[in-house]
Structure formats: C-alpha cells, structure tokens
Structure 1
Amino acid sequence: MNTEDIYQLFIQHPVISTDTRKIVPGSLFFALKGDKFDANTFAEQAIEQGAAYAIIDNPAYQLNKKYILVDDGLTALQDLARYHRKQLIIPVVGLTGTNGKTTTKELINAVLSQKFNTLATQGNLNNHIGVPLTILSINSTHEMAVIEMGANHQKEIELLCSISQPTHGLITNIGKAHLEGFGGVEGIKKGKGELYDFLSREDGSLEQGIAFVNGDDKVLMEMQQARDLKKVVMYGTNNRDNTIVGKLTENSPLLSLQWTNNSSGESHAIKTQLTGAYNLDNILAAICIGTYFELDADAINKGVEGYQPQNNRSQIKQTATNTLICDYYNANPSSMFVAIENIGKLTADRKVLILGDMFELGDESAAEHEAIIRKALATEVDERIFIGKDFLAQKWKFKGDKLKNATFHATVENAITALKFHPVKNSTVLIKGSRGMALERLVELF
C-alpha cells in the first residue's frame, strides 16, 4: 500500500502506536524493527488489543486485511509523517545543537503557548522515530509546532528536516558531543548545519526559511554566512546587530536577567526558575522567537518565568542540608565545561563537584576526560568526586597537591559506599554525567 492510501487510513485513525504495551484502541500500529526485536511478531497482539490496522513489512505476519504490508515499516512511518506535514499550513520551528536543545525547546514552547495553541516535541523524542511521531500528532487545532531534532551522525538532521520541513530554525550551539559518530568537531558543524542548509533552500516549492542565530557565537555566524541565509534574526548579549540583547543580573543559583528589544528600545526584568549561566543564551533564544511572532513582553516574561526545568536538566533540588544542581540527564565535554564553570561562579558557603563519565567520545575520550579533570581542579570548589572508569584512567596524570580534595571511584556503587562514610552536608552540589552513568542513584545520599 502506498503512502497516500495509508494516509487515508490515518485520517480515520489519527493515532499512531509503536509499542503493544501502550496500544490506543483504534490506532495504527507500526511494526518497527530494533537491534533486539522485530515488532512484526507483535502485530497480531496489537490488533487483538484494539489497533485498527497494523503496518508490517514481513508478509509472514499478514493474516488478513487489517495487516497492511509495506516494504519497510520505518520508512513508511517517515513517509507518512512527511506527507502529513505537507498538508499543514502552520509555522514549524525546528531546532538542533550540541547542548541545550531540550531546555530551549521547552522555553520556546512556554513562550509561544502564551498566544498560540502550540505542539512541541514530548520529552526527548527527537530522533528518526520520535520526529515522525511528533509530526503525526499535529492536528487541525494546532497553530504552531516546535520540533527538536537530535543527531549523532551526519545526514540525520537532513533527514529530520525533510520530514518536519521547518519554516523557522535555531541551532543552539556547536560543541563536543557524539564525536565518534560525527567524526570530530568539523563533522558536528557539518551535521548540525544541515538545518541551515534546509532553511536556505528556495526551490519553488519551499520558500527560504528564517534562522534565529546567536549573534555572539562566531561559529554559528560563520555557518549561517557561509550559506548566505537571507532571513536571519539575531539575539545575544552584546552584539548591536542583535534584535534581542540580554544580561544576567543574578545567579545564586537561580537566574535573573534583563533583556532589551533593540527594535523598540524597551527593557524588561525576569526572574527564572533555571540555574546555570549557560542557560542565558537559551532564554534569549526563546525571547527572540516570541518577539518575532509578535507576543507582547508581558506574555514572553510570563512564559519564561513560568518554565520549571524537569528531567534532571539544570534542575534545583533542595534537601535537608544541601542544594543539588541535578544535571545528569546527559553530558559531553562542552556541557560539562560550562557546568563546572558555572558552579565556580556561584555564591555558596561550600561547593562540591560530582562528575560522571562522558560517553560516545571515541578516540577523543581520554583527552576530553583529562581536560575536564584539569578544569575541575582549577575551579574554586571545596570537594571534587569523579566517577567512572574513564575518569579513573586519567588519575595517574595528576600528582600530589593537584589532587587535593579530589577522589576517584570506578563505579557509582563505589561512590555510594564512600559517600555513606563521608556524607556531604551544607553544600551546593553539582551532579553531572552521561545518562548511562545513572547518577540519580546518588541523590538519596544528600
């Protein structure tokens, strides 16, 4: 069955299911393959649980007319989303970048939803499956969409743009993450720059899109200039060409800031529920996009001030004796560096760093873990705790007094044991590491 025919079924059954544990009665079940499973084997179960049709790519499981055979289940899902997107006449803001994607997406959504019925990527559904599912969840009531796009190799953003077809776009930054898959920083620039490539297209069917660019970021400015983007709106902290300019007024640990609309000359003050000076750029991006879509300042401020971070991204947790900065959803050298830098600037009686290994760094892993240790040792904090085999493997490079107030543990379990014997109290504590380290296991100790 072709995409147009499947779309007619989708119109009648506009809910997509890919997991038999979460089947919605009357939905379309797409049987996707994974490294360790073949959902074709669950197609019959999906129908029994109420799915209207099952889209499968193995004829052995086609039991009757409720089983729709396609060449490839994932491609069929992506093609369906691409077809659905073409039926929608709404602005779609697409964003990618090394760090801050999800926080920025949530901030943009918090601002735009003050005026529009907005749909945004749920959680971290930002890959080759999540983006199509998000696009297919847009319905006739939505006036705007905010689509987060993640990638760990080149051509992935190109694919996601072909599906989501953003009319507006934002790259948060270019940093060191997924170095193994991208093949180094230049590979990251090329891969993330595929969003600018899409926005610069003007082929008759697509008008050139609008890019929101951090005017202070030399890398992003060079990237957008190289593509001759003609529709650029800028934000930042000091560039006079920025439409929106802002500066922090407080970081203790929650952020307050002042921002100015250079077009009107009006300035405004905001108190946020975010921590981390590195989030200033993310906040200004959301303000810039809100201003572009003609929200008034009060609505923009309400959106930013009302946003409360979750999912352990720059999230503050108060315990009986400590203030925790929970930032262990993920980590890479760039995000680790700015997080360490931020805690060094905080005003606190006692400060502790707890850092877990960073993953997917390939041949650069040893050098990047060593660099983070050096940054941590050079930062004014009272205690440093490194967790994981990659950090431990670099310990021998640091001798004597350089390791003062620094301990290394091969595993989280070892760190838990040590913290039980030597508990941390009356401190501001940064906990940061890659998702696979599962550093949330430490929180109950504080």
Structure 2
Amino acid sequence: MSQKILKSIQNIPAEFSGNNTNLAIDTIAIDSRSLQNGPQTLFFALVGANNDAHRYIKDLIAIGVQNFVVTHIPEECEGKANFFVVENTLTALQQFAANYRSLFDFPIIGLTGSNGKTIVKEWLNFLLSPDYNIIRSPKSYNSQVGVPLSVIAINEQHNLGIFEAGISTHSEMEKLQKIIKPTIGILTNIGSAHDEGFINLENKVREKITLFENSEVVIYQKNEMVDSIIFSKAKTFTWSFDSQEADVFVYNATIKNDTTTIQYRYKGDSFELVIPFQDKASVENAISCLMVLLYFKYDEKTIQNRMELLYPVEMRLKVKNGINNCSIIDDSYSSDFQSLKIALDFLESQKQYKKKTVILSDIFQSGLSNDELYAKVSQLIVSNKIDRVIGIGETISAFEKKFANCITYKNTAEFISKFDDLNFANETILIKGARTFQFEEIVSLLEEKTHETVLEINLNAISHNLNFFKSKLKPNVKIMVMVKAFGYGNGGFEIAKLLEHHKVDYLGVAFADEGISLKSAGIHLPIMVLNPETTSFPAIIQHQLEPEIYSLKGLHAFLKIAEQKNLNQFPIHIKLDTGMHRLGFEDNTIDDLIATLKGNQTVKVKSILSHMATSDDLEYKDFAHSQIDLFEKLSSKLMAELQIKPLRHILNTSGISNFPNSQYDMARLGIGLYGVSNDAEEQKQLENVGTLKSVISQIRSIAAGESVGYGRRFIADKPTKIATIPIGYADGISRSWGNSTGFVTIKKSKASIVGSICMDMLMVDVTDIECAEGDQVIIFGESPTVTYMAQKLNTIPYEILTSISQRVKRVFYRE
C-alpha cells in the first residue's frame, strides 16, 4: 500500500519542498485532531469556508507528522517537514485518490440516489462477503471528501469494492466518478432529498448518473425519465413493479408476520424470496440487492437463504449513559478496520472520562493477513491511548499478547458469563463488534436503564449549524458558544466536548455550577460564567472559570477575594448595559469602574461585552444600532483609560446574521447551534438537532360518547382508536399542547393529542393510522418542529427545549 501511495502522490501536479525524499507513508489524514496522526501520515491541509488546516501544521510537526500537501508552507514551518505544494488541496486529494484507484483492477459497485445508498451498500456487503474480500465506504462517507478517503483504503487483498456517492449540486458527480470508476452502477430511490441544489428532478438524475459514465452495467428501477437519459452505450439491468419490459418484473409483494414475500419473474421463470421487512423502502432496497445477486449469477437457493437474513442497518454512532457512571459509545453492528479508526476518533472527541475501554470483536474483511491486521489494530489502540481492551472472538483471542492490559473471550456468551468480574465504572466504553457477535446484548448490560422516552441529539447537525454561523464571521472573529441550561436542554458535556473538538474559542454558561461540571468532566476550553453569584466566586477561581462582572458591588467582592488569594491577572469579563436593562455597567458608572480597575494587577479584563435586546426583530433596527453605538462609545472609553485591548463582543445568534458589520472580536452563538432561527429563510439552512421520541404503550378503542383523560376534555363523536404515549408534563411537555392543540407523528402521519396531557402520559387519536403497541412516536423534531410548537403555544423555542426533563434520556449520535 505504501508504494502505491507514493506513486499516487508523485502523479499529482505539485512542487516538492523538503529534505527527505525517501518518504515512508502508509496513512492519509485530513483531521489534525486525530490521535492516529504520526510519522507515516500524509496530511492534506484542506481549506474550507470555516476552517484552514494550514494553521495546525506547526502542531502536527510537533507530534511527528512529516509529510504535508499544502497550498502554501506556513512561515514558521519552512524546512521542518516535507511539503507538496498544490493549487487546491481538496482537488489534490481527489486527484490522489483517482490515481490510487487506477492501480487496482477488480469490480467496483458504485451507488447513488436520493435514499437507500448506505443500506444497500451494507446489505450487499453482507450478501457478498462469503465470496469476496470487500472494501466499502465506511458508514456514509459519500461526499467530495468522504469518497476519496474511502477509496484510499483499498489494498492488494481486496477483490470487490462497494462505494456510495452523494451530491448536493451540479458538477460534483463528475469528480466522484473519476475517483470511484464503478464497473457496476446502482441507482437507488430518487426522491426529494437535496433537491435545492438542482434545477429540477431531471437535472438531478442527469447529474447522478454521471457516476455510471463508464460502467459496464447500470441497475435501476425502470422509469421513462431514466430510460430516456441513460447513456446510450451503457448496458442496463432494470426491475419494475409495473412494467413487464423490465429485466426483472416484481409482480407481487405480500406482507405477513413482519416479513414480505417478493415474487418476481426473471428470464421467463418465476421465483420468490422472503425478507424480514414490511416497509416499501426496505422492499425497494432489497430488490436492488437482488439485482446484483442475479447479475453475479447466484443460484435461487443462495439468494433465498441470504436475503431472508437481511437486518436493520444502524447508521449512527450513539453515545449513551451507562451503569456505574460510565459513558457508552454504541457501534455494535460492524467491525472492519476503517470504521474502527473512525470510531476511535469519535471516542476521543466524546470521551467523558479519562479512562477509555474498547470492547472489540474479531475484525473481518480487512484485506490484510491476521498478523498485519492486529499489529495495525494494536498501533491504533496505542495511539488512541486506550486503557483497556476486551477482545471477543477466536481470532482476536489468538492475538491477545499484541495488546497491553487486554483480556479476551472466545464468544459473547463467555463475556456475559464473566461480566460481573469486569468492574465497569467511571470510564468511556466503545463497544464495536460485527453483527454475528450480537454485541447489542453487551450494550443492554452496560446501558443505564431508563424509560422509553429519549431525546436524540444529532451531533452532525450541531457541527453543520456551527459551521454555518462560522461562515458568516470574518476570518479573525472568534466564536463563543452558549451551553448554558444543559446545552439548551440538549445536553451539556457531550455538546461541549464536540465544540472543543471543533476548536471554538469560548464556552458560555449561566451559573458557576454548570461550568464546574464541565471542567470536572475534562473540558479544557475557557468558560465564561455569565450570571455569577458572589457566593460562587471562590469556586469560580478554584475551577479556573472566568466570571462576567456586571456591577461595582460584584467587582469589589471579586477583587477582595482575588487579593486574598494573591491572584495575578485573573481573567474577568466586563458587561455593559447598552439598553437591555437586565445586567451591566451603565454609562453613569463607567468612571467608577475605570477608577476601580486602573492599576489593579489581580485581574485582567479579558473581554468587554453587551447584549442586544432586539437583534432578531428588524422593526427595531434603529434601537439595535443605538445599542451598538453606545457599546462602541463605552468600550472604547474603557480601553483608552485602562490602556487595554480586550476582546469585544455584542452579537448573539440573530445578531450574527442581521448586524454583520458589528462582529468586533468575537460573537456569541446560542439557539442557532441547536437548529433554530428567527428568520424563515435562514431556518432552511439549519439542520434539526434534537428529536424527542417515545413509543406507543397501549392502544384501545372507545365508542362514541366515551371520554379520554382527566376532566373528560375529549369526548369521542364516533368510534375512535386511542394510543397512550409514556411522556407528560413532568417530562417537559406543556399541558397547553394537549386537547387537540398539538400532535405527534406516528408512521409519518399526524396523530392529534386528545384530552389533557397527564404528568407521565398523553393520549393521541390513531383511528386512521396503521400502528401497533411499541411503535415509535415523534414528539418533536422534523414534525412538529419546536418552532411550530412555540408558535402554537405563544412562547419561544428556547422554553420548549429547556423544559425537557432530566429524566428523559439523551442519546447522542453521529451519522
């Protein structure tokens, strides 16, 4: 692999600068934060709208990285490493991957479409892995960056590839086609996802099928549009529910006992197979897989036997609360080398406890010999500073001595029998295993038991929203992110850890105990306490928090303690009242403030800030500008009189968007991080972060005239089917949301809330919805959104988010 890497890098247009031409490279990296970076890493310094990796090169050299692809060599790094200087590092990464791909000659399946790509990829891997050594995209690595990283993982032992490609606008697929070069193309379901980047549906289809330009065959569900624009030279292999002209005609799909029997006609003969799913999307995805098996000339019996074993695909890495004060990262459905590297990076970005444990099964389809594979796994374990390894499986047990502090078990049952002897407590545990090992049983043992209502937090969405607002800031403007009120109800530590991973400049909390909790959990970012009580000053100092000072009384109290503790230049933040009239120094107190601070060495004014009252309402734009003008006047006076140059900041989330000329040195991002905007157009650019879910506890039928709930606030006027959901006002759902004001979503349908919301339960009308006890219920998320709920309840999204009770389990995940 290393020789192929060298050949690939030498074939991209680049100017080499360095002292060592005898390069030893076996890893490609783009993330400076990964603990896996080292002397044999080739680092591509990507430049995006919100970040420039060139700024981290000095730190990477310090930890031993010696080889870089850059657009320029940072001044302080000249002569200290090897540099390939290119015009554009993303283009260079894509060219490198295309060069690397061209060195291998075996079948490659390329998938694209609006929906189903990842599921079809994972199912094909399962169906074909008994006969092939497969390399596939890890998780949903299907982007302009993800595809190159996926392809670069190919090695000499692989003999089949499965890669997915996703695009969001025109001209992107052309680049991915050159990297994947699929010999077999699969077009999955074409829907409305990501429509905004295309002129119309036909334009989107044309762009997507660019992936198949040189494929020997294209597999898709037959329809007139695709038929009319597919490449004339391409061989097609089609299926259909409607057209008997398709190569495979599916003439019946019968649902029974949680399964679907698919009957189809192929080459004049009729066949059938059973899959363990009922929904339309799974049936379509299964047929895509069937088409590949038919194209590969699998026999009927093999197809039937393997297809009936298909399984739900979990595409998320989930963070859960565990027993004995543990944090659990659930990746219990796959075990391959590439996804292990991703999971270990995620472990580092989300670790809540210093002690790190990995529970790992045998690893399959690495394309490496077992000796080479487990040597590399051992290196990963060492570089990621894992404290304990628990191996499960015959193969990993044979290599136990390659790992420090490792214990192994032949199978999951043996591990479970010894579970009580392992003493899991106060640690972060990554659980990663192939499906055959049934690691979900281990997750169940380790997971803290709570009721069935959960708030799922999408960490990808938080990253997206953060980057969206960072893109609005000028290059040198810092960003503070508010994580007060338990991260606006979404979770404190986990979000703070992600923000630290993204290298934000400051975190903001309301009270000292919130900051102390984050510092005690291992957060190292500077944390500003916005509403400190004087009684908390000693604790603030002890835990290296930074208080906002908003009154002379508070300042004198803090200075007294600072002098007693012999502090020197302890950071404080001065709050000015420019019109909010809540907290802060007013114009008539500035002279006393200056007199008190002048010459004082115990504290250092780290920043001067104010808060806008109407940044979200342009009807009061003049008032907002008056606040900004007063802030400029008062802060300038402070800086001149005290001869200081602190950070200045006045903008909150809506201020970032509405007053871009007043960014000063830093801006404070709050509700926008969590996917909520006051502007309808901006809202379309943000991603939903929190989804509150529950289940149906019970379904009953009532007759006309019967009532539901306290006070008989709902009386049925016809026979009605009622579902009870285990969530109520004690969980944070307003009673005003009941009695037909609000709804929940079940099976993508609205179910109106009937009667009064109880402390722990609410009831909904499911008369027209095919559902069963145990089915999932969406309380809020994509529908209804918290913004919609707030409008109906005459409140703001903040109140809804922060009202969700701590007894509701938070589950954090990354796609």
| Aligned counterparts, 1:17-96, within 5 A | 17-22=29-34, 23-25=36-38, 26-60=40-74, 61-96=77-112
Paired with 2:205 and 2:177, the residues of 1 have a C-alpha distance of 16
RMSD of the alignment, in Å? 4.6
Are 2:162 and 1:150 equivalent residues in the alignment? no
Structure of greater Rg = 2
Of 249, 256, 261, which residue of structure 1 is paired with 2:254? 249
Deviations 1:198-252 (A, max 9, x none): 14xxxxxxxx52101212x34333332xx32441111233433334444432266
Is 1:221 aligned to residue 227 of structure 2? Answer: yes
Higher helix proportion (structure 1 or 2): 1
User: For 1:141-290, what aligned pairs fall within 5 Å after superposition?
Assistant: 141-196=157-212, 198-199=213-214, 209-215=216-222, 217-224=223-230, 227-246=231-250, 247-250=252-255, 254-260=258-264, 262-263=266-267, 265=269, 267-272=271-276, 274=277, 276-290=279-293
The match for 1:429 is 776
* Amino acid in structure 2 at the alignment position of 1:169: G
* Residue of structure 1 equivalent to 2:151: 135
Cα distance per residue 1:393-417 (max 9 Å; x no partner): xxxxxxxx9x787369xxxxxx9xx
Give 1:255 deviation, angstroms: 3.7
Unaligned runs of 5+ in 1: 200-207, 332-356, 366-379, 386-400, 409-414
Distance in 2 separating the partners of 1:90 and 1:135: 13
Tell me what 1:120 maps to: 136
Does the 8 Å contact 1:321/1:427 carry over to 2? no
Contact 2:115 2:189 (C-alpha < 8 Å) held by counterparts: yes
Q: What is the CA–CA distance in structure 1 between the aligned matches of 2:676 and 2:141, rounded to whole Å?
A: 21
Superposed displacement of residue 160, structure 1: 0.7
Match for 2:217: what amino acid?
Answer: I
User: What do residues 281-314 of structure 1 show as CA deviations (whole Å, max 9, x unaligned)?
Assistant: 111111111221233344444543444333469x
Partner AA of 1:406 in structure 2: F
Amino acid at match of 2:261: L
Are 1:118 and 1:143, in contact at CA under 8 Å, matched by a contact in 2? yes
Distance (Å, rounded) in 1 between the aligned partners of 2:460 and 2:759 = 25
Distance in 2, Cα, partners of 1:281 & 1:259: 13
Higher relative contact order (CA 8 A, sep 6+): 1
Q: CA deviation at 1:259?
A: 4.4
Which amino acid is the alignment partner of residue 150 of structure 2? T
* 1:59 CA displacement: 1.9
- With over 3 angstroms needed to count, the CA separation of the structure-2 counterparts of 1:255 and 1:30, relative to structure 1, is farther
TM-score (structure 1 length as normaliser): 0.67
- In 2, the alpha carbon distance for the partners of 1:306 and 1:122 equals 21
| Contact 1:174/1:220 (<8 A) preserved | no
Partners of 1:429 and 1:303 in 2: CA distance: 28
Distance 1:301 1:34, change over 3 A: farther
1:293 to 282, 293, 296: 296
| Structure 2 contact 8–100 (Cα < 8 Å) conserved | no
Tell me, yes or no, if the aligned pair for 1:98 and 1:174 is still in contact at 8 Å. Answer: yes
The one-letter code sitting in structure 1 at the alignment partner of 2:226 is L
Q: After superposing the two structures, state which structure 1 stretch, 290-299 or 156-165, moved more.
A: 290-299
* CA deviation profile, 1:249-277 (whole Å, cap 9, x unmatched): 2266x4422344613736242232x4522
Q: What is the percentage of aligned positions where both structures have the same residue?
A: 23
Aligned residue pairs, count: 362
CA 1:312/1:163 → structure 2, altered by over 3 Å: closer, same or farther? closer
Please say if residues 724 and 762 of structure 2, whose CA atoms lie closer than 8 Å, have aligned partners that are also in contact.
Answer: no
Match of 1:406 in 2: 743
* Alpha-carbon distance in 1 for matches of 2:282, 2:271: 19
1:98 paired with 2:110, answer no
Provide the rounded CA distance (Å) in 2 between the counterparts of 1:153 and 1:420. 47
Secondary structure class of the residue paired with 2:102: helix
Change (3 A) 1:186 1:244: closer
SS class of match (2:33): helix
| Unaligned segments of structure 2, at least 5 residues | 1-5, 13-20, 317-332, 334-439, 462-674, 685-719, 726-738, 746-752, 764-771, 787-800
Query: Residues 323 and 36 of structure 1: is their aligned pair in 2 closer, same or farther, counting only changes over 3 Å?
Result: closer
| Deviation of the 1:24 alpha carbon | 4.2
